[in-house]
Structure 1
Amino acid sequence: MREYSAIESALYASFDRLLESDILEIDFESVGTFTDPSAGKPSEFDEQSEWKDVILDHRFDEATPWITELACRWRSVKRKRAPEIHGEFRVRNIYDALLKNAPDLTWERASDTEKQLVAEFRTIDDTPRSGAGLLTAVRVQPHVNPLELWYYDKDLSRYPGHATDYVRLDLDYVEYMKVLPVTKGTFGWQYLFSDISLCGLERHVVENLEAMLDAFPTAFPEYDYAPLRARLEARL
C-alpha cells in the first residue's frame, strides 16, 4: 500500500470515524477507486490552451485525495432533547475535478458578470444524495495563486442582503481539505469561513452548526473544535 500524505490520511481517518460513530447514522457512503499519485497532474493541463496561465499549486499533490470519489451522507441518531445534525460531502482527486465542466448554477436572467463567475467554477465538494443544493467550487482564473474557493447555497439569495447564491471563502484548497475532516461535511460549515453574518440566514443553518459544536468535541475528541466555535460566535 502506498504512503498517504498527512492531509489525505486525516481525511480517510475521519471517514472511518464517521462510519464507526455511535452518534451518527450513515445514509450513504462511497469509496471509489484509488489512483496513483506518482503520475501527478494529467497531461491535459499542459496540452489544452485554456490552462496555459492557470497556476496549479504544487501543494495540490499533497492535499488531494487520490481517489475517484469519497462520499458520505449522514445524520445524527435521534436523541431526546438533542438537536439533529446533518451533513454530506463528496470529494475526489482535485485534477479530475478541475477537468470537469462548470456546474449549472445560473438562471436565464443572471447578469453576464454572474454567468462568467460561475463559468470559472469547478466543483470540489458537493451534496448530491441529500439534495441540499450546497457545493464548494474552485474558481479557475489565470495568474491567480492560490485559486479562490466559493460556496454555493441554493437558498442564499432568498435572504435579505444577498443578491446571489455564491459567497467567497477565506480558505484555499489545501486549507479546505484540512478542515473537512474536522467538520465531516456538516451542512453550512463553510459559512464559518465567509464574511456572512449567520443571523441573516435561516435558523436551521445556525442550529446545525451549534449542534455539531456541542456533540463533536465529545464524539471526536482527537479534533480541536475551539477555532470553529470562535468563528461561529464571531458571526452571530
Structure 2
Amino acid sequence: MTDLNPAERRLRLMMSELREASAFEVYDALPGVVDPACEDIDAAFAAITASTGVSLDSALKDCFVRFEQCSASWSLEDSENGLSGEFCVAHLPAVVATEAPPTATELMTHDERRRYAEFRVLDDHPVSGTGAFAALRLTPDTPTPEIWYHDFHYNLGGFRMALDPCRYLDALTLTKGTFGWQFLFCDVSFADDDFLGLGDELGEMLDVFPRLFPDHDYTDLQARLRERT
C-alpha cells in the first residue's frame, strides 16, 4: 500500500471528521485512492509541463495530492440556515486536463472570456450541481497559478481568491467544503444584498465548527468574516 503524504492525510482526516461527527449527514463520499500514474510526483510535474507548457513552482509538490478523486456532499442537521456543502478534488494532472464547463461567455467582456478559457477546475459540486467551481488559472508565465472562484449567481467573470493551491487545500480541510466558503478569501462584502444570506450561513459555520472540531484553529476565518460584514 502506498504511504500517504501530508496533504493526502489531511484530506483523509477531513473525511473522517465529517463521518464521525454525528451532526452531519454525509452523501456520496469518496475518500480518495492514490492513482498509480501519479506516485512519482516529479514525473507527474514533468508531464504537466510537457502537456501544457507550464512549469509549475516546485513548492506545489509539498501539497501534491495523488488521489483520483476525493469528494463528499453533506448537510448539517438542525442547522438554522440549512448549512450544507460539497467538495470534489483530484490530482493536478487531472485538474490541468479539465477545462472550465461551458457557460454564457457571450455575456462576458473580452478580458473575462480570455481569463475563463484559462480556468482549470480544481474543486466543484458534481452531486448538488450548483454550477460553482474553484479553478486554477493556468498560464505559461505563472508558476504558481492563481485561484479563482466562479459562481454565475454572483458574477460571470469570477472572483480571484487570496490563496495559492496549497493554502486552498488547507482552507478546504477547515471548512469541509461549506457552500460559499471561498468568498471568505475574495474581495466581497456580506453586507451587500446579494451576499446577506451567505454571510449568515458562514457565520453559522464559524460558530458551530470550532465546537465540533476543536483541534482546528478557525481564528483566521472568523477574522475574514468580520472584515466582510
Q: Look up the equivalent residue of 1:224 and give its one-letter code.
A: D
Matches within 5 A, 1:109-128: 109-128=107-126
Alpha-carbon distance in structure 2 between the residues aligned to 1:145 and 1:47: 14
Partner of 2:40: 39
Q: What is residue 195 of structure 2 aligned with on the other side?
A: 202
Take 2:88 and 2:217, find their aligned partners in 1: how far apart are those partners? 23
The equivalent of 1:226 in structure 2 is: 219
Aligned residues: 225
Unaligned runs of 5+ in 1: 158-163
User: Deviation per CA, 1:58-100, whole angstroms, max 9, x where unpaired?
Assistant: 2333313211111111011126xx4431111000011211122
State the one-letter code of the partner of 1:182.
Answer: L
Q: For residues 147 and 19 of structure 2, what CA distance do their matches in structure 1 show? A: 28
Deviating above 6 A after TM superposition, structure 1's stretches of 4 or more consecutive aligned residues are none
Q: Distance in 2 between the 1:4 and 1:62 partners?
A: 12
- TM-superposed deviation, 1:142: 1.4
CA, structure 1 residues 211+42, in 2 after alignment: closer, same or farther (shift >3 Å)? same
SS of residue matched to 2:27: strand
Q: How far apart are the structure 1 equivalents of 2:104 and 2:65?
A: 29
**Contact 2:45–2:56, Cα closer than 8 Å, also in 1:** no
TM-score, normalised with respect to structure 2: 0.90
Bigger Cα displacement from structure 2, 102-111 vs 16-25 = 102-111
- Asked if residue 211 in structure 1 is aligned to residue 204 in structure 2, the reply is yes
TM-score, structure 1 length as denominator? 0.88
Paired AA for residue 233 in structure 1: R
Is residue 48–residue 96 contact of structure 2 (8 Å, CA) maintained in 1? no
Query: For residues 217 and 76 of structure 2, what CA distance do their matches in structure 1 show?
Result: 20
**Structure 2 residue aligned with 1:93, among 45, 70, 91?**
91
Q: Distance in 1 between matches of 2:103 and 2:145?
A: 20
Match of 1:68 in 2: 68
* 1:123 to 1:168, Cα distance in 2 relative to 1, 3 A: same
Q: Cα distance, 1:3 vs. partner?
A: 2.7
User: 1:155-166 counterparts in 2 under 5 A?
Assistant: 155-157=153-155, 164-166=156-158
Q: Alignment identity in percent?
A: 30
> What is the SS of the residue equivalent to 2:170?
helix
Q: Provide closer, same or farther for how the CA distance between residues 47 and 64 of structure 1 changes in structure 2, counting only shifts above 3 A.
A: closer
Equivalent pair of 1:106/1:114 in contact (CA under 8 Å): no
**Structure 2 counterpart of 1:5:** 5
Alpha-carbon distance change, 33 to 197 in structure 1, aligned in 2, over 3 angstroms: same
> In the alignment, which of 177, 182, 189 is matched to residue 190 of structure 1?
182
Cα distance, 1:114 vs structure 2: 1.6
Contact 1:103 1:121 in 2 (8 A): no
Q: C-alpha displacement at 1:165, in angstroms?
A: 4.4
- Kept in 2, the 8 Å contact 1:86–1:208? The answer is no
Shift of residue 43, structure 1, vs aligned partner: 5.7
Q: Distance in 2 between matches of 1:179 and 1:46?
A: 27
1:208 deviates by 1.3
